[in-house]
Structure 1
Amino acid sequence: MTPIDELRAALPDGRVLTEADLVARYVHDEAEWASYGQPAAVVRPRSADEVRDLVRVCAKHRMPIVPRGAGTGLSGGANAIDGCVVVSMEAMAAIVEIDAAEHLAVVQPGVVNDDLRAECLKQGLWYPPDPASSPWSTIGGNVATNAGGVCCVKYGVTRDYVLALEAVTATGEVIRVGRRTAKGVVGYDLCGLLVGSEGTLAVITEITVRLLPARDDAERTVVGYFDDLVQAGEAVAKVSAEGVVPSALELVDRHCLRAVDDWRHMGLTEEGNVLLLGRSDAPGDAGEAEVDAMLRCFQEAGASWAVRSTDAVEADALFSARRLAYPALERLGPVLTEDVCVPRRKVPEMLARIQATAREFDTQIANIAHAGDGNLHPLIITQPGDEQAKNRALKAFDQIVDDAIALGGTVTGEHGVGLLKRRGMAAELGAAVLDMHRAIKKALDPAGILNPGKVF
């Protein structure tokens, strides 16, 4: 009996896919130019027990396992390798429980981020992590990469909300780590360890997340346009120095504004080259003070136009435009997406270095950013089939990574290491810390079958 036959024998009918046309949609995520191979099969389990059974078969034959969420990742972390079993969690999409009294939810990994947020809102609760892919990305994928989002400047990233996990180990054991209580310090933080591990340590099958009370919808918005990217960066640094912690502070440059305008005709490029959007959800006078401070910082940094928005519909449309920037740019050609994070005071210098890199390598680089926490997403755009442009883009990508490290930053703020950031990870962490990571990987995955080749 072949390993695939054993998988079919161990699992209910229809779980194991080997037909080429069906398998093709599972072989890679959205990371441009990240390599991928041909899986031996795709398995779509519906329970932790089924994950356990498939892992045991794979462990017996030392078949690599590549866990996959919705495939919206931007680092190649879910890309197949030759002969692997891709484990798609799409069918495990149940919201198991929302406990309003304890302010928590229990979900399977295939639950879409926005679907969870909508169900929580019905009970007056809020799940804060909101990556730009929230209409499509899953909680399991968000946990795998420790995703952030627009509001993480104030409310933190996925790890800050994960209380407990159910997972299947590399040897096929179903385990639970973490807790449901408000406090808990028993043993090592294995739950925190699994968050952001990109499928290299276990296959996550259930997630318990902390919830907050739903916010008042009346957020206050400040809109600023700038002639220059670095000026906008100076405004970000000033907001940070002022001690303001906005609920959002997002940057969109002229390349992105033009792309969205060409697609949706929103008139975004009529006011300036760079759009900076600040928000406060603080109540009462505190919110008024935050908005006044952000507006003053925008003006002092040289905004060509800055105003407090009095039209909630217009403000929401501007934030929608920020979310549309990436798909709008994809219409222009392949987009290689960066994800560096630097100290907030270094945002102006990092933006200046990105502009210099674009000139040095004759490469178009657009910029969107969760600017309030220094998380920048330079988007490197090339034309299809232009190999010289692709080579220049890859060099620019590496230069941006090196500049982020040089400024005391990190090579990935929320997208994960995957395949694209392995060189950067090594440069950032150093040999001794990498050895610690490898020792943990060896201890939890002694046969090396969980997402091999990723991260390290």
Structure 2
Amino acid sequence: MTVTSGWLRSAGVEWSTDPEVLAGRRLDRSGFEPAGGPVAVAFPRSADEVQTVLRDAESSRTPVVPRGAGTAMTGATTAGAGTVVLDLSRMNRIHAIRPDDGVAEVEPGVITADLDRAAAAHGLRYAPDPASLEISTIGGNIATNAGGLRCAKYGVTRDSVLGLDVVLAGGRRITTGRGTLKGVAGYDLTGLFVGSEGTLGVVVGATLRLRTLPDPTATIAASYLDIADAAAASVALTAARVQPVLAELLDAATLAAIGFPGGGGALLIVQTDGGPEEAERATEVLGRTATTLRATTDPAEAAALLAARREALPALERLGRPLIEDIAVPRSRMADAVRLIQDIARRHDVRICTVAHAGDGNVHPLIVAGAYGEPIPAAAIRAADEIFELALHLGGTVTGEHGIGTLKRDWLARELGEQNHDLQLRIKALFDPHNILNPGKAL
């Protein structure tokens, strides 16, 4: 594969070796900085052009890093020395929304929020809503099996992916899954590609499930003395037969970082869409131990509360380079997890702001790890390792929705065990025998 300085078109594909373009696609949102940087960036506009890039890469044994918006949290879209970045952001068309079938057909570069808005025009919703939904792409969400605030009720990305159009290493193109809401023919290759972080193939199209827009929702904001009390209150919702759309938890450090009015020890934001009776049960349960509580059905007020939750990471990024951890534990152990994280922060004298998708036990300890461009402090690394350790000790996982990338590969092997890990490495070798697709990531 030969490219020259600047911009050019080769075999119908637009390329760039402009230094600013390369630098802008070397890093993602993880803070991980690879050695070196990419040699070129390809900007395909069609599946055929992706096939061309991967055929050439296979022939020259050039490693390829697929990329959407670069919002990955674990280094999955970082591009080191000798790599080519496959930027899929220009493949951003919504080909069809079929309201009667509850299905959308899209390209990987479609912005997540744009699909949700397009579905809403038909009285439908695309349920997955990661915090980065206004900038993240469907392809990136599929690559990491992204979650989001509404996953407490509607599941993660995998639960909304019906079928995929995928280009494999070497340029072969396959279709997986189906365009129907049910289907069990053959092995579930669709599920295998979802969450594979671009290491098995490049998604060039997706058939996605849409859901009916719910009746007006109720949103409840409850403050607590500390985050463990808030975690316990979120768990108590299940016993009251409340299935929240979302249950978002923010600790005192996070509330201070975003400048949330009133602050407090912890804030729990719960949203329901099961009607007035469910909202009343949720309010009663949360109010038992809350210091303050307010409930609203006003969409604008609800949006303001959720905007505060989505501001958590940008607020931390202003304080320094964040290590965004992503453990998940059984919901019944979530209060234990947040207490232990607070102990870890004190013992290592590191600043950790904890937010959580409390509805499914997904906890995000956000470690402030020094300044950008400087080595990560040893204390921050030790704190992160202890957080992973406690997740496994409590019967959980080292990643609930962000994936493995480069930062968690050692911990993945510990979680999976030797035989399981070896089997996954063999699957990778079957799909990508020359290891050109996002090498060094995920496994």
Q: 1:246 aligns with which of 244, 247, 250?
A: 244
Q: 1:397 aligns with which of 367, 370, 384?
A: 384
- Inter-partner Cα distance in structure 1 for 2:181 and 2:166: 21
User: Contact 1:236–1:347 (CA<8 Å) still a contact in 2?
Assistant: no
Aligned to 2:400: 413
User: Contact 2:32–2:74 (CA<8 Å) still a contact in 1?
Assistant: no
- Inter-partner Cα distance in structure 1 for 2:58 and 2:286: 56
Aligned to 1:179: 178
TM-superposed CA distance for 1:246, in Å, is 0.6
Q: Deviations over 1:348-367 (max 9, x none)?
A: 00000100110111111001
AA in 2 matched with 1:280: T
- Inter-partner Cα distance in structure 2 for 1:144 and 1:388: 28
Q: Deviations over 1:138-186 (max 9, x none)?
A: 0000000001111110001111111111111112111111111232222
User: Contact 2:31–2:372 (CA<8 Å) still a contact in 1?
Assistant: no
Aligned to 1:298: 286
Aligned to 2:194: 195
2:272 is the counterpart of 1:273? no
AA in 2 matched with 1:277: I
- Inter-partner Cα distance in structure 2 for 1:220 and 1:322: 17
Q: 1:422 aligns with which of 366, 385, 409?
A: 409
1:143-182 superposed matches below 5 A: 143-182=142-181
Aligned to 1:381: 368
User: Contact 1:18–1:40 (CA<8 Å) still a contact in 2?
Assistant: yes
2:417 is the counterpart of 1:450? no
TM-superposed CA distance for 1:268, in Å, is 4.1
User: Contact 2:55–2:170 (CA<8 Å) still a contact in 1?
Assistant: yes
- Inter-partner Cα distance in structure 2 for 1:234 and 1:413: 20
Q: 1:385 to 1:25 in 2, by over 3 A?
A: closer
Aligned to 2:122: 123
Q: Deviations over 1:367-414 (max 9, x none)?
A: 111111101111111442797872111111111111011101111111
Q: 1:448 to 1:114 in 2, by over 3 A?
A: same
- Inter-partner Cα distance in structure 1 for 2:203 and 2:301: 40
Q: 1:224 to 1:36 in 2, by over 3 A?
A: farther
User: Contact 1:253–1:366 (CA<8 Å) still a contact in 2?
Assistant: yes
- Inter-partner Cα distance in structure 2 for 1:36 and 1:94: 34
Q: 1:430 to 1:123 in 2, by over 3 A?
A: same
TM-superposed CA distance for 1:288, in Å, is 2.9
Q: Identity of aligned pairs, percent?
A: 44
- Inter-partner Cα distance in structure 1 for 2:425 and 2:338: 33
Q: 1:288 to 1:123 in 2, by over 3 A?
A: closer
SS of 1:58's partner is helix
Aligned to 2:350: 363
SS of 2:319's partner is coil
Aligned to 1:12: 12
- Inter-partner Cα distance in structure 2 for 1:44 and 1:238: 49
User: Contact 1:417–1:455 (CA<8 Å) still a contact in 2?
Assistant: yes
TM-superposed CA distance for 1:114, in Å, is 0.5
Q: Deviations over 1:182-240 (max 9, x none)?
A: 32222111111101000000011111101111222x21122210111111111122123
- Inter-partner Cα distance in structure 2 for 1:47 and 1:226: 51
TM-superposed CA distance for 1:41, in Å, is 0.8
Deviates more, 1:191-200 or 1:221-230: 221-230
SS of 2:323's partner is strand
Dislocated runs of 4+, deviation >6 Å? 385-389
Q: 1:207 to 1:415 in 2, by over 3 A?
A: same
For structure 2, the 5+ residue unaligned runs are none
Q: 2:340 aligns with which of 347, 353, 358?
A: 353
- Inter-partner Cα distance in structure 1 for 2:373 and 2:228: 30
SS of 2:131's partner is coil
2:333 is the counterpart of 1:335? no
User: Contact 2:57–2:170 (CA<8 Å) still a contact in 1?
Assistant: no
User: Contact 2:217–2:297 (CA<8 Å) still a contact in 1?
Assistant: no
Aligned to 2:234: 236
User: Contact 1:47–1:92 (CA<8 Å) still a contact in 2?
Assistant: yes
For structure 1, the 5+ residue unaligned runs are none
Q: 1:350 to 1:9 in 2, by over 3 A?
A: same
- Inter-partner Cα distance in structure 1 for 2:179 and 2:191: 14
SS of 1:38's partner is coil
- Inter-partner Cα distance in structure 2 for 1:389 and 1:375: 24
AA in 1 matched with 2:272: S
User: Contact 1:3–1:61 (CA<8 Å) still a contact in 2?
Assistant: no
User: Contact 1:165–1:177 (CA<8 Å) still a contact in 2?
Assistant: yes
Q: 1:193 to 1:389 in 2, by over 3 A?
A: closer
Deviates more, 1:178-187 or 1:386-395: 386-395
TM-superposed CA distance for 1:102, in Å, is 1.3
2:262 is the counterpart of 1:257? no
- Inter-partner Cα distance in structure 2 for 1:9 and 1:406: 53
Deviates more, 1:236-245 or 1:88-97: 236-245
User: Contact 2:28–2:78 (CA<8 Å) still a contact in 1?
Assistant: yes
- Inter-partner Cα distance in structure 2 for 1:382 and 1:62: 36
Aligned to 2:207: 208
- Inter-partner Cα distance in structure 2 for 1:342 and 1:322: 21
- Inter-partner Cα distance in structure 1 for 2:70 and 2:425: 26
With structure 2 as the length reference, what TM-score do the two structures score? 0.95
User: Contact 1:233–1:347 (CA<8 Å) still a contact in 2?
Assistant: yes
AA in 2 matched with 1:202: G
User: Contact 1:10–1:53 (CA<8 Å) still a contact in 2?
Assistant: no
AA in 1 matched with 2:265: N
TM-superposed CA distance for 1:100, in Å, is 1.4
User: Contact 2:321–2:372 (CA<8 Å) still a contact in 1?
Assistant: no
- Inter-partner Cα distance in structure 1 for 2:183 and 2:132: 32
- Inter-partner Cα distance in structure 2 for 1:123 and 1:236: 33
TM-superposed CA distance for 1:416, in Å, is 0.8
Q: Deviations over 1:108-146 (max 9, x none)?
A: 100000011111111111100000000000000000000
- Inter-partner Cα distance in structure 1 for 2:194 and 2:278: 32
User: Contact 2:226–2:252 (CA<8 Å) still a contact in 1?
Assistant: no
TM-superposed CA distance for 1:295, in Å, is 2.6
Aligned to 1:227: 225
